[in-house]
Amino acid sequence: MHENLIPVRQAVIARNPGESEFHQAVDEVFESLGPVVARHPELLESAILERICEPERQIIFRVPWTDDNGRVHINRGFRVEFNSALGPYKGGLRFHPSVYLGIVKFLGFEQIFKNSLTGMPIGGGKGGSDFDPSGRSDAEIMRFCQSFMTELYRHIGEYTDVPAGDIGVGGREIGYLFGQYKRITNRYESGVLTGKGLAWGGSLVRTEATGYGTVMFAEEMLKTRGQDMDGREMLVSGSGNVAIYAIERAQSLGAKVLTASDSSGYVVDPDGIDLDLLKQVKEVERARISQYAERKGGRARFISDGSVWDVPGSVALPCATQNELNGRQAKKLLANGVEVVAEGANMPTTAEAVRIFRDADVLFAPGKAANAGGVATSALEMQQNASRDSWTFDYTQQRLQEIMRGIHHRCAETADEYGMPGNYVAGANIAGFIKVARAMSAQGLI
């Protein structure tokens, strides 16, 4: 890390004690910014770095709700509105027991640079709750969402802050949240949330966008070496929205996807994942991944220990959660012939694993670049809502493809410009940072 960045980094750690994920995200960006600081010392003089690491607003609130037995529960809600230099705050809501302020700040910090890379006029924010939707009835989830929005509504709006979904927040939850927002405000403000149902303001391709976009980015990286996806054996972690649609896109390009996982373990299917069965198990029945292996039979098997990264394959897409791929697993992937790693989740690869991949000349795409397709399509949904319009699937998918190519181009070009060719981590961090920093400088000390 550049010597001028170390005091700033130390101040961030001291100011945000115990928030390890946020510290990790800051370190990952700062380690790329040495050449920027050397070339643009004025960014240190105006304290851009200190300001970009301090959220513009942090909102924490109580969320009381009752279960189907009448028992009262209390959860904690969060919304971190991190940076609005480029546009209204934009980023998802995560409902998961692991959620605390440090997780939300890490996600929001990443979102600043991810949203910048898309080229769309959106700032960075993130939110959520430590509520666990697993095993809860639709009625319980509705009551929780209504209570959550009863506080959140006063902080959001289509020109202020536009939340979307994330882990634990899909179309069902967005529907309940939007309904309560409309009920409280007496406004049909379509652009206040994205990820809506198609019948009431949602965008085609939004469901598929993060997974599709991750594969599109990997495809662009392969093109730089004159290669493609056809015939490749691919490893995917997770079995939620991102993983399922990454699998769908990869299969359409001729890849054979061998794995999927959830918190209980993972499945290996040497014949290739049966996407229809996986969707039935995970999207319709919300069952455990072991059900896939039981129903598929044949050579498909469920493994409750180890990880998907123990399986040989040339392309790896971590699409589950943060820090799921560590240094030991990275070495295992290298030994098994991995050539491409693209992050479908947010920061799923530890810093040690990233260094291992970079040292081995593996094509590695950080999440802020590779999984930006979701938020980019959310911005396209906002455009359609603002114009009271609706676009076709093919047109929206074409826009997504153009955006992902643009992100890849910006990352690759910036890495070259700053003397680090092929380093997509540095390219993404520098390109995302410079755009936001220039906007902050132009808008004065606020």
Q: Is the pLDDT of residue 2 over 90?
A: no
Task: Determine the number of helices (DSSP H) and then strands (DSSP E) in the chain.
Answer: 18, 13
Q: What is the pLDDT confidence band of residue 430, given thresholds at 50, 70 and 90?
A: very high
Q: Is the pLDDT of residue 45 over 90?
A: no
Q: What is the pLDDT confidence band of residue 68, given thresholds at 50, 70 and 90?
A: very high
Q: What structural domains and CATH numbers belong to the chain?
A: 6-189 (3.40.50.10860), 208-370 (3.40.50.720)
pLDDT tens per residue, range 185-241: 999 999 999 999 999 999 999 999 999 999 999 999 999 999 999 999 999 999 999
Cβ proximity of 364 and 424 under 8 Å: yes
Specify the pairing of strand 233-236 against strand 256-257.
parallel
Q: What is the pLDDT confidence band of residue 46, given thresholds at 50, 70 and 90?
A: confident
Q: What is the mean pLDDT of residues 305-317?
A: 96
Specify the pairing of strand 265-268 against strand 259-262.
antiparallel
Q: Is the pLDDT of residue 110 over 90?
A: yes
- What is the per-residue pLDDT for 387? 95
Rounded to two decimals, the pTM is: 0.94
- What is the per-residue pLDDT for 1? 82
Q: With b meaning 16 or more CB within 10 Å and e meaning fewer, what string describes 279-311? A: bebbeeeeebbbbbbeebeeebebbeeebbbbb
Q: What is the pLDDT confidence band of residue 289, given thresholds at 50, 70 and 90?
A: very high
Of 313, 125, 134, 128, give the one whose Cα is nearest residue 232: 313
The verdict on whether 296 is a catalytic residue reads: no
Percentage of residues in the chain with pLDDT exceeding 90? 96
- What is the per-residue pLDDT for 57? 97
- What is the per-residue pLDDT for 44? 80
Q: What is the mean pLDDT of residues 239-257?
A: 97
Catalytic annotation, pick one of 90, 114, 126, 196 = 126
| 169 secondary structure, DSSP code | B
Cβ proximity of 246 and 215 under 8 Å: yes
- What is the per-residue pLDDT for 312? 97
Q: Which of 40-54, 141-155, 166-180, 405-419 has the lowest mean pLDDT?
A: 40-54
Q: Is the pLDDT of residue 66 over 90?
A: yes
